[in-house]
Chains A and B, each alone.
Chain A
Amino acid sequence: MAETTASRVTGPLPAPPARSSGALPTGRARRRYRTVVAVLGVLAAGFGFGLLAWDNPMPVGSDGFWRIAQMRGTNLVVMAVVAICQAVATVGFQTVTGNRVITPSIMGFEALYVAVQTTAVYFLGVAGVVAVQGLPQFALQLVLMVGFAMLLYGWLLSGRYANLQVMLLIGIVIGGGLASVSTFMQRLLTPSEFDVLAARLFGNVSNADASYLPLAVPLCLGAAVLLWAGSRRLDVVALGRDASTGLGLDHRRETMRVLFLVSVLMAVSTALVGPMTFLGFLVATLAYQFTGAHAHRYVFPVAVLTCFVVLSGAYFVMRNVFYANGVVSIIIELVGGLVFLFVILRKGRL
């Protein structure tokens, strides 16, 4: 391969030759990208520090300050994990499906999560919520979700009639069937059991247990790094099946690989904090606008940063301005949902 010979278009954006095919061909585009990353970085750092330090009763720097900050730090790590998972998974998923108005969370991950939680409470009562907490249970949920996704992909994406959209719809419909079973069980719960369950059915960073992180962090980082490393292949996948096959890419294998990584990321995020249907959609849509480039190696970091800023910003504002911690994810869902409505009504083509 000739790739080692001359100027690589990686790393800290080298000055390209006069005629460049880079994702950011002009100086203006590069400056814009750098500005976006810088602003998002500053915002992320600001909200992150704010969440750690704001309203901390201890003086900054004291032992007590650090102890409280450490507790809040766990939440911050969870947010970072969720941000990476949702952002990277959504961008990758939208590329392999060739559709920018869908989100991977509709693929039955959430329905499965809700079913597991509901079943536990249904059979074990209030104790059920506790019963599904713990590292082994967390791992089991991950295996269930990824296993479900792989069954679906293996069944519907191989063979002669492989069709991605049929696969998507079947995933959604199976999720719908699962959801009606959950709804039925929820009806039979006592109000107090239901209240306990309801808290778990909304995405919330405080659902996460610090003991999950040793498993969640490596999985999330591993899958995200693998996807990021395949950025250039994803750029080609985005051209569609025929064009990418013509360019020598094994389109089906690449699709399966991406979908597998996406399912790992979505499973980690969902099992960690609960359903977040439109967060990924929201940040991916914003990231395409912010980046102004097609190349995935530029889109991924912006999407992750945006996701973290949205999450931490929402928590910071809700906690310190409105004193309403529990509804953060619902607010994000609402905003994401409205953006979704706006995008589909404005868009001319799917």
Chain B
Amino acid sequence: MTTETPVPQARRGGRLLDGKLLVGTAVVGALVVLSLFTGVYDVFGADDGGEMFAITRVPRTVALVLAGAAMAMSGLVMQLLTQNRFVEPTTTGTTEWAGLGLLTVMVLVPGASIGARMLGAVLAAFVGTMVFFLFLRRVTLRSSLVVPIIGIMLGAVVSAVSTFVALQTDMLQNLGVWFAGSFTSVLRGQYELLWIVALAAVAVFVAADRFTVAGLGEEVATNVGLDYGRVVLLGTGLIAVATGVVTVVVGNLPFLGLIVPNVVSMFRGDDLRGNLPWVCLLGVGTVTVCDLIGRVVIMPFEVPVSLILGVVGAAVFVLLLLRQRRHG
């Protein structure tokens, strides 16, 4: 795990910017720089080193930063809206819906532009997230742990549909390649749309408090004068945009949105405003570290970041569950 994890401190730190955050930023910054200079190609020695650096390394690193921050924030928004710690795009089927949207566009419009594919993925992710929220509002749950169980099953339903479509159109192995999140193929000219998620991240910063209130339920939200429906739509929209875009450009980043907000609140308590920059930072840091590991373990080949995240994320998730079990 990254080293910028803060020591426990008194809750309600007050100011957004403090010494620890600066240290954290510096550590993540160092990781990002390290990512820029990691790779088989010698960007200093070779003649076209500078150009290669601009074509592959810079886009890749920018994509790491954007995707890490966006997915961590999506997880946070989902957890705020549902008031459930175990909810994130992978445990609600959102990722699978995005994949289905992507696949549908690929099948219907062979050779569709990356923009069109994104649109399909974002729309499907939006529909899927709404289905899940709708379900959550309709049922009274006895345990918060049932929610991710149902969400994962929902994801299984959607990926069964995707598999069926892919099988019929001979795209099954491609499907696996798309879903496995990897930054290998992020090159100049293919990743620029990822900047959209930066906008989504900013929107989360602005609207975070509203998501918390909406998470307390429609009555509470209306009572304090908040348009519940609009906030939920906004939140779902942001999640869908982030998940959809990241799925198309990078692929699936499992458990990122789950472990990052949980680890942050484990160390800092549930101070939302103060936690937001940390969620961003830790999201970026985690993805960068996983990507670095993936790039160096079997050099010159690469292990996709989704594999490392899937394994590490599953382990952290299990630890979180065991912790929750102890605390009732």
Contacts and interface: CB of A to CB of B under 8 A. Distances in A.
Contact of B135 (A99, A198, A345): A345
Contact of A334 (B160, B309, B322, B326): B160
Given A163-B325, A166-B321, A187-B304, A334 B164 contact: yes
Contacts of A174: 314, 318
B212 to A, nearest CB: 24
B145 interface: yes
B304 A176 contact: no
A172 B173 contact: no
Contact of B146 (A176, A333, A338, A350): A350
A170 B149 CA distance: 10
A166 B134 contact: no
Contacts, number: 141
B267 interface: no
B148 A169 contact: yes
B142 interface: yes
Interface residues of B, number: 51
Interface string B117-150: 0000000000000010011001111110110111
Contacts of B254: 176, 180
A133 B103 CA distance: 33
A183 B307 contact: yes
B262 interface: no
A78 B145 CA distance: 35
B244 to A, nearest CB: 20
B160 A184 contact: no
A187 B152 contact: no
Contacts of A327: 164, 167
Contact of B156 (A330, A337, A350): A337
Contact of B139 (A106, A277, A344): A344
A93 interface: no
Interface stretch (B49-57, B176-184, B217-225): B176-184
A350 B142 contact: yes
Interface in B153-175: 153-154, 156-158, 160-161, 163-164, 167, 172-173
A68 interface: no
A210 interface: no
A327 B135 CA distance: 30
Interface string A338-350: 1011001101111
Contacts of B131: 341, 345
A269 interface: no
Contact of B160 (A165, A177, A278): A278
Interface in A299-345: 327, 330, 333-334, 337-338, 340-341, 344-345
From B160, B161, B254, residue with most partner A Cβ within 10 Å: B160
Contacts of B157: 278, 337-338, 340-341
Contacts of A9: none
A106 B153 contact: yes
Nearest to B324: A166
Nearest to A184: B307
Report, as a range, how many residues of chain A touch the other chain.
Answer: 35 or more
A166 B325 contact: yes
A181 B172 contact: no
A334 B180 contact: no
A166 B145 contact: yes
A310 B157 CA distance: 18
Contacts of B158: 337
A27 interface: no
Contacts of A184: 180, 303-304, 306-307
A333 B135 contact: no
Given A106-B152, A180-B311, A169 B86 contact: yes
Interface in B282-328: 303-304, 306-307, 309-311, 313-315, 317-318, 321-322, 324-326
A330 B311 contact: no
B163 A330 contact: yes
A186 B310 contact: no
Nearest to A185: B307
A184 B176 CA distance: 8
Contacts of B176: 183, 186-187
A103 interface: yes
B150 A187 contact: no
A177 B156 contact: no
Contacts of A102: 149-150, 153
B86 A330 contact: no
Given A166-B325, A180-B314, 4 more contacts: A166-B322, A168-B145, A180-B254, A349-B139
27 contacts: A101-B150, A101-B153, A106-B149, A106-B156, A166-B322, A170-B318, A170-B321, A173-B318, A174-B314, A176-B310, A177-B313, A177-B314, A180-B306, A180-B311, A180-B314, A183-B307, A184-B306, A198-B167, A278-B157, A327-B167, A330-B160, A337-B158, A340-B157, A341-B157, A347-B138, A349-B139, A350-B150
Interface of B: 86, 90, 131, 134-135, 138-143, 145-146, 148-150, 152-154, 156-158, 160-161, 163-164, 167, 172-173, 176-177, 179-180, 254, 303-304, 306-307, 309-311, 313-315, 317-318, 321-322, 324-326
